[in-house]
Amino acid sequence: MQLSITHTTRYTYDEPVHYALQKVRLIPRDSSQQRIADWHVEINGGQREVSYHDQHGNVTDLVSADIGVTEITITASGRVETFDTAGVLGQVYGAVPLWHYCQPTPLTKPGEGIVALAQDLKGAGDQLAALHALSAKIAETVKYGTGQTYAATDAEAALAGGQGVCQDHAHILIAAARSAGVPARYVSGYLMMDDRVDQDATHAWAEAHVAHLGWVGFDVSNGQCPDERYVRIAVGRDYREAAPISGLRHGAGDESMIVSLQVQQ
């Protein structure tokens, strides 16, 4: 499937910016699931300081705001050809050893709830089936809904709260998989919802590592494995390592952010 994507993130500030940095991970890479036909990231109101590959292989840009601006716009756009692999990314590995994806992070630290959730996965004969079951169970326990959780909500808290967004679903699955000894990671990316061009926000899902298959994606929120409507942008152990944009700003005044995202065939 050929997808056309335009993803604009606009930060506006009450007062001229003194100094601000954004860590930007918005460049998708080729894989068994996607081929990048054409892609560029444009920055208005700031400049790219450096660009490098992080430990997970994500192309990362460090962007600084121009002094005195009141608005920065980061626009990623291009065309990506996607393939339906039934969610299987495969046995592709980077510099980070597999065991590292078993290490908990502050956002994916398991508590009692997560440990209980992971019981069936632990030592399961059919890992893949058990992961599907886990995904379904999370979707059932934690209803999709905004407003209950925020960017810094950890997996255990989201599970206990019973409601969350795709980020929380992914964190819960990752935390549970890890606590059962299965390597798992966070993926941020785009999803073309069938019924609309304008999407609400960037999407997130989880990938778990299954013996003989390699990495397999699980989108808890939509109850499916990523297919040709999905585009992977960045991976990490959790949201903090894979967030498309994360930043830091010095100075007074309020900041607001508006995201607009169009994904279409």
Partner 1 sequence: MKGVEGSTRPAYAAYHDWFRQQDPDRLTKKSLDAEAFFRRTGITFNVYGQAEAQERLIPFDLVPRILAQREWSKLAKGIEQRVAAINAFLHDIYNRQEILRAGRVPKDLIANNEAFLPQMVGFSPPGQVYTHIVGTDIVRTGEGDFFVLEDNARTPSGVSYMLENRETMLQMFPELFSKIKVQPVSDYPKNLRRSLAACAPAGAGPKPTIAVLTPGIYNSAYFEHSFLADQMGAELVEGHDLRVVDGHIAMRTTQGYKQIDVLYRRVDDEFLDPLTFNPDSMLGVPGIMDIYRAGNITIANAPGSGIADDKAIYSYMPDIVEFYTGEKAILKNVETWRCGEPEALKYVLDNLKDLVVKEVHGSGGYGMLVGPAASKKELEAFREKLVAKPGNYIAQPTLSLSTVPIFCESELAPRHVDLRPFVLVSPQGINIVPGGLTRVALTEGSLVVNSSQGGGTKDTWVLED
CB of 50 to partner 1, least distance (A): 4
Alpha helix (H) ranges present in the chain?
A: 112-117, 127-141, 155-161, 166-179, 239-242
Distance between CA 199 and CA 229 in Å, rounded?
12
What minimum distance in Å lies between the beta carbon of 136 and partner 1?
Answer: 30
Nearer residue to partner 1 within complex by CB, 25 or 171: 25
Instruction: Find the shortest distance in angstroms from Cβ 249 to partner 1.
Output: 10
- Tell me which residues touch partner 1 (CB under 8 A): 19, 21, 23, 49-55, 57, 60, 62, 64, 94-97, 99-100, 102-103, 237, 246-248
Tell me which residue of 241, 96, 90 sits closest to 170, measured CA to CA: 241
Residue placing its CB nearer to partner 1 in the complex, 60 or 135: 60
207 vs 219 by CB, closer to partner 1: 207
- Least distance CB 208 / partner 1 (angstroms): 18
- For residue 248, with 0-12 CB atoms within 10 Å meaning exposed, 13-18 middle and 19 or more buried, which class applies? exposed
Characterize the bridge pairing of strands 203-210 and 230-236.
unpaired
Smallest distance from the beta carbon of 234 to partner 1, in angstroms? 14
Burial of 30 (0-12, 13-18, 19+ CB in 10 A): exposed
Measured CA angle at 238 (ends 234, 154), to 5 deg: 145
Nearer of residues 225 and 235 to partner 1, judged by Cβ:
235
Give the nearer residue to partner 1 in terms of CB position, either 179 or 221: 179
